[in-house]
Amino acid sequence: MSISMKGQPWLDAGATRAVMAALEAAGGAGCARFVGGCVRNSLLGQPVDDIDIATRLRPEETMAALKAAGLKAVPTGVEHGTVTGVSERRPYEITTLRRDVETDGRRAVVAFTEDWAEDAARRDFRLNALYADAEGTVFDPTGGGLDDAAAGRIVFVGEAETRIREDYLRILRFFRFYAWYGRGAPDADGLAACAALKAGMALLSAERVSKELLKLLAAPDPKPSVRAMSESGVLAQVLPQVQPLELFEAMWGLTEDPVLRLSALLPADAAAVVGIAGALRLSNGVRDRLAAVVAEGPVVTAAMPEAEARAAIYRLGRGVFEDRLTRAEAGGSGDGAALRRLAATWTPPRMPVGGRDLARLGLKPGPETGRILKTFENGWIANDFPTDGHEARLAALISSRE
């Protein structure tokens, strides 16, 4: 009995049909099939974001077919067989069937083929090697993809060690797909191969590693996957200063943010965090955010009085305060819901005085101006941002220096 995805909105969309019609007009019926995530997620009832298509057409034939149909064709990776077709502003990644000729653990030299089984054999996991034709009929060349998808199993195509040696990033992908689609214990052969070959990840670019890691941490419940990574030694290979998992496991239920979840795996030391972020080639924004969570400054707890919380929000900014509050909650400081509402609704006031106010009171501009304003600000914050009495306070500060 054949399995069909018929009725999927993305499959029946006019933009999708236009792309498939263009390819089949050039290569005949069945020359192109949907592949990978769009097929897997449709079968699992999960959202489809990207639509990938595999085809017997060569890249230049794909380009010509799209243009002949009045569709945009972008040569995004023609040396590897990939063309991006654009239909009604939606991108479709279209790749010629391939087989690996040479691999070095990071990238592959490929040759084009017309054999669907050869194309499936070079893919990572059986549930990612599922294809579907233009009408939605599903094909399972490895013979295990459909069962794996239904059972929540992440199983390598062929021998796990062979697939990993082709590209060591597949170790992280094993744990990432297990986090998103796995149920029960991870596949024993795959897990053993990942543990045995984890040192090979040193060959990978930091950017590829961090991208996979953040995708993994964005899963609804990454705890079992991260635990398996830790027990296999893979996590320490990625994060040499990784911390015990208790804080991370408490954090996941408080936030879906992968950056905050990552922070719970890192040392509570801003300098160390900056070094780790640099090694992973994380963006400056992510690096700064991770460091700010554990940097010096106001200590945030879920039990702090509101006046102290307002002072912390003023000094840290709303985003850093909320990040520190989440980390504090994960560490067992209590329920921070009330302080989170405060952070969302309270607008920090502007400093009510400045240099002009000091000049009006007879103080000439100079280094002392800054010191007095800083002293005033500290007192204003400590008194929970009073709205009046500022001139008298300034006058008293000026008098105290004389």
pLDDT tens, residue by residue, 234-265: 999 999 999 999 999 999 889 999 999 999 99
Tell me how far apart the alpha carbons of residues 393 and 388 are, in angstroms, rounded to a whole number.
10
CATH code, domain carrying 110: 3.30.460.10
Tell me how far apart the alpha carbons of residues 61 and 173 are, in angstroms, rounded to a whole number.
32
Render pLDDT for 74-88 as a digit per residue (tens, 0 to 9): 999 888 899 999 999
Tell me how far apart the alpha carbons of residues 93 and 50 are, in angstroms, rounded to a whole number.
8
pLDDT for residue 152: 96
100, 44: one domain: yes
Q: Is residue 107 predicted with pLDDT exceeding 90?
A: no
Tell me how far apart the alpha carbons of residues 154 and 202 are, in angstroms, rounded to a whole number.
23
Q: Rounded to an integer, what is the distance from CA 68 to the centroid of its chain?
A: 37
| 186 in a structural domain | no
Q: Is residue 49 predicted with pLDDT exceeding 60?
A: yes
306, 396: one domain: no
CA dihedral 355, 360, 362, 363 (to 10 degrees): 0
Q: Report the number of distinct structural domains present in the chain.
A: 3
Which amino acid, 341? R
Average pLDDT in the chain:
94
pLDDT for residue 160: 97
pLDDT for residue 111: 87
Nearest in space to 35 (alpha carbons), one of 156, 124, 108: 124
Structural domain containing residue 387:
355-400
| 48 in a structural domain | yes
| 241 in a structural domain | no
pLDDT for residue 314: 97
Render pLDDT for 5-20 as a digit per residue (tens, 0 to 9): 989 999 999 999 999 9
| 56 in a structural domain | yes
pLDDT for residue 358: 87
25, 71: one domain: yes
At residue 402 the predicted structure's pLDDT band, cuts being 50, 70 and 90, is low
CB environment 42-61: b (16+ within 10 A), e (fewer):
bbeeeebeebbbbbbbbbeb
Please answer whether residues 300 and 328 qualify as being in contact, where contact means their C-beta atoms are separated by less than 8 angstroms.
Answer: yes
Q: Which two tokens stand for residue 298?
A: 């106001």
331, 386: one domain: no
| 60 in a structural domain | yes
- What is the pTM (predicted TM-score) of this model? 0.89
At residue 309 the predicted structure's pLDDT band, cuts being 50, 70 and 90, is very high
| 252 in a structural domain | no
Q: Which two tokens stand for residue 246?
A: 């208790």
87, 51: one domain: yes
